[in-house]
């Protein structure tokens, strides 16, 4: 996903500047020696801001925020309080969100704990936190059955990354407090780390492309990188410009190897080896693998050159 602003923050050079919140025509004035905060990662608007930002931004109202938990399989986070607003990212079942405001129309404005992303979610997708999750889904999609029988109609379908409170296990199933049975190979303890994040990305091959998506039902380039790295126990920001700044050390196409990240302006791909890569992209409209040279040539023809190659670890 392309950047809304360059980097996480930039210092102001002028006496007075304006930090624009995505999706609004209003502006917030920030005086000299303040920092222009990235609205994707800092909870502030012209009318309200998080208490911890007092002194960094100007707003008529500062609020502490309250913790909620996602109770739907997937909760869309949008740029504005409307179902027609652009989808910026998604939160999965069991993730926590700090909510600063809930509107009369049922929109919660808050910040996802796992990556700090700020936006609007349906309040119906959230509830007061329950027991802390113990496991998460580690396959593209799984079912929760009402008993220890896969022939029973499933009660839910959950995406990779969804978090669960598992109370017991047997040889075939992990069971939550509702008695829903999830195939044991489909879940793993939160502390477990997938050995090869590239293999996680490859498991999502052919998932359709969706701007802002993070699941097998639809995913974008930086979502693929984030989901894959998180399952490998590696913290990862959400958007490609953030990832390019935060992840790895510089490398080169000439030394490309499995697990390297290749960046363009507004796009990122994962190297499978020195000659091929995997990425969610709008050309194939899915997660696809293709030769590195072909991808570079095609994207260059569309007007974008590789900006960096990053090596993790």
Mind listing the pLDDT tens digit for each residue in 126-138?
A: 999 999 999 999 9
Query: Collapsing DSSP states into helix, strand and coil, what is residue 203?
Result: helix
Lowest pLDDT segment from 5-9, 83-87, 203-207: 5-9
Structure tokens at 311: 């090596």
For residue 259, how many other CB atoms are within 10 A of its CB?
Answer: 21
Residue 107 above 60 pLDDT? Answer: yes
Task: For the chain, give every domain's residue range.
Answer: 9-63, 66-127, 135-189, 197-311
pLDDT tens string 238-296: 999 999 999 999 999 999 999 999 999 999 999 999 999 999 999 999 999 999 999 99
The residues with which 249 forms a beta bridge, in sequence order, are 311
Q: Please, what CATH class does the domain formed by 135-189 belong to?
A: mainly beta
Residue 29 above 70 pLDDT? Answer: no
Query: What is the arrangement of strands in the sheet containing 87-92, beginning at the earlier edge strand?
Result: 87-92, 74-78, 118-122, 107-112, 96-102, 66-70, 126-127
Higher per-residue confidence, 17 vs 42: 42
Q: Could you check whether 66-127 and 135-189 share the same CATH topology? A: yes
Structure tokens at 77: 């986070």
Confidence of residue 36 (pLDDT cuts 50, 70, 90): confident
Q: Per DSSP, which regions of 33-106 are E strands?
A: 35-37, 49-50, 62-63, 66-70, 74-78, 87-92, 96-102
Q: Is the pTM of this model over 0.85?
A: yes
Q: How many CA atoms lie within 13 A of 216 on its CB side?
A: 19
pLDDT tens string 168-223: 999 999 999 999 999 999 999 999 999 999 999 999 999 999 999 999 999 999 99
197-311 maps to CATH 3.90.1720.10: yes
CATH no., domain 66-127: 2.30.30.40
Confidence of residue 313 (pLDDT cuts 50, 70, 90): confident
d(CA 241, CA 265): 7
d(CA 228, CA 198): 7
Structure tokens at 178: 């509702």
């Amino acid at each position: 996903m392309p950047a809304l602003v360059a980097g996480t923050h930039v210092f102001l050079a002028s006496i007075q500047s304006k930090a624009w919140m995505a999706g609004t025509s209003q502006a917030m004035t920030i005086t000299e020696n303040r920092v222009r905060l990235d609205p994707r990662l800092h909870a502030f608007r012209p009318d309200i801001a998080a208490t911890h930002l007092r002194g960094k931004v100007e707003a008529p109202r500062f609020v502490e925020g309250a913790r909620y938990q996602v109770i739907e399989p997937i909760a869309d986070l949008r740029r504005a309080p409307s179902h027609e607003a652009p989808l910026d990212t998604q939160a999965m079942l069991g993730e926590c969100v700090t909510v600063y405001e809930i509107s009369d129309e049922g929109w919660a404005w808050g910040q996802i704990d796992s990556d700090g992303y700020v936006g609007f979610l349906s309040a119906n997708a959230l509830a007061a936190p329950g027991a802390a999750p113990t496991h998460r889904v580690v396959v593209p999609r799984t079912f929760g059955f009402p008993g220890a029988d896969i022939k029973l109609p499933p009660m839910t379908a959950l995406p990779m990354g969804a978090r669960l409170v598992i109370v017991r296990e047997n040889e075939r199933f992990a069971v939550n407090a509702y008695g829903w049975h999830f195939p044991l190979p489909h879940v793993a303890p939160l502390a477990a780390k997938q050995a090869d994040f590239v293999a996680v990305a490859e498991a999502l091959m052919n998932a359709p492309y969706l701007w802002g998506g993070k699941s097998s039902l639809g995913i974008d380039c930086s979502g693929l990188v984030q989901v894959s790295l998180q399952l490998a126990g590696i913290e990862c920001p959400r958007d490609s410009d953030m990832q390019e700044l935060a992840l790895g050390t510089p490398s080169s196409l000439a030394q490309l190897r499995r697990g390297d990240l290749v960046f363009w302006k507004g796009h990122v791909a994962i190297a499978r080896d020195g000659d091929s890569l995997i990425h969610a992209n709008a050309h194939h409209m899915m997660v696809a693998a293709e030769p590195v040279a072909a991808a570079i040539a095609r994207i260059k023809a569309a007007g974008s050159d590789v900006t960096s190659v990053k090596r993790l670890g």
